[in-house]
Chains A and B, each alone.
Chain A
Amino acid sequence: MPQDMPPVGGYGPVQYKRNIPARGFRPITYLVGMHLLMGYGYYKLFHGIREQNELAREKVWGRLHILPLLQAEEDRDQVRRHFADKAREKELLGSESKVYNTERFVRPTFVYTPTKVTQ
């Protein structure tokens, strides 16, 4: 009895690889695309930061223009309270005492609070 032999012309090629097409684009496309997107983002960020700087400049200068006004009002209020304190002390004690060993105005640590509702 003859032995089993390969078919004439040999066996066909064995398909060991799955025949699935590669998905998507070429990898270089993704690399370039990512960098383009990132470049766009940085472009917007650059202009956004410039705009923020200008808005901050606008805000600060607006504040600087009214700052002397606010400070003058505050100073006047301090002077008014200072004279009121002096007059009150004079009325209560009959004399004025110096708290600090200096002539300049020192902002008081404690402020006078009226006992009744004043405003």
Chain B
Amino acid sequence: MAAREPQFNQQVLVDTTPMPADIPSVQEVGATSAPLTSAAYFIGDRCKAFNDDYMKCKQEANGRGEFDCLKEGRKVTRCAASVIKDINTHCLKQFTAHWECLENNNHHLWECRKPEMELNKCVFDKLGLKKTIPGAPEGQTPVHLRPKQIYAQFPGPQY
């Protein structure tokens, strides 16, 4: 039975031809979803100008612009990679703690407020990047700074 090898799998489907040499190369970020989620607000804080530039380019190309926006895209990737690199050099322990917590909790940010507070503090002290949620109602504590997280498995004071 079933002596035949599977014909289609993820391994054979990848075309690994490199980019032509006349297009400047850029190292991809290479981070998985949890570290990216963890670092998203810091990336957004430092790289806002590049991100906006790239999205404007995409919008002017009617959402396509795969070729036109290569330059802006490289800037976006370099900036994000620089943020990840800085966090890794300065706050590796807190960063690892936070994204592993996210990984273990279905990427629910509200389950990981304690590691997040430590990460935010470290990143703000070392890199000066701050997590702010745009559009949050004024006069209230932002949701990531509230001591009680009513949807967490332990809803009491988190830190």
Residues of A within 8 A of B (CB): 47-48, 51-52, 54-55, 57-59, 61-69, 71-73, 75-76, 78-84, 87-88, 104-105, 111-119
Contact between B55 and A114 (Cβ–Cβ < 8 Å)? no
Closest to A118 in B: B16
Contact between B12 and A52 (Cβ–Cβ < 8 Å)? no
B67 → chain A, closest Cβ, in Å? Answer: 6
Query: Which among B91-99, B119-127, B130-138 touches the partner chain?
Result: B130-138
Q: Return chain A residues, CB-CB under 8 Å to B144.
A: 58
A77 → chain B, closest Cβ, in Å? Answer: 9
Contact between B133 and A115 (Cβ–Cβ < 8 Å)? no
Given A73-B77, A111-B15, also A51-B151 (CB < 8 A): yes
Closest to A51 in B: B150
If A81-B15, A105-B64 are given as contacts, then 19 extra A-B residue pairs at C-beta distance below 8 Å, sorted by A number, are A54-B143, A55-B109, A55-B151, A58-B109, A61-B133, A65-B40, A68-B51, A68-B55, A68-B73, A69-B51, A72-B69, A72-B74, A75-B73, A76-B74, A76-B77, A82-B66, A104-B64, A113-B15, A119-B14
Distance between Cα atoms of A64 and B73 in the complex (Å): 15
CB contact between B12 and one of A62, A72, A88, A116 (< 8 Å): that residue: A116
B69 → chain A, closest Cβ, in Å? Answer: 7
Contact between A75 and B70 (Cβ–Cβ < 8 Å)? yes
User: Would you call B23 an interface residue if the criterion is a C-beta within 8 Å of the partner chain's C-beta atoms?
Assistant: yes
B79 → chain A, closest Cβ, in Å? Answer: 9
Contact between B12 and A114 (Cβ–Cβ < 8 Å)? yes
23 contacts between A and B (CB under 8 A): A54-B133, A54-B142, A55-B110, A57-B136, A57-B143, A61-B40, A61-B135, A65-B40, A65-B47, A68-B51, A69-B29, A72-B74, A72-B77, A79-B67, A81-B15, A83-B17, A88-B17, A104-B64, A114-B14, A115-B12, A116-B12, A118-B15, A119-B14
CB contact between A75 and one of B47, B69, B151 (< 8 Å): that residue: B69
A84 → chain B, closest Cβ, in Å? Answer: 4
Distance between Cα atoms of A50 and B69 in the complex (Å): 39
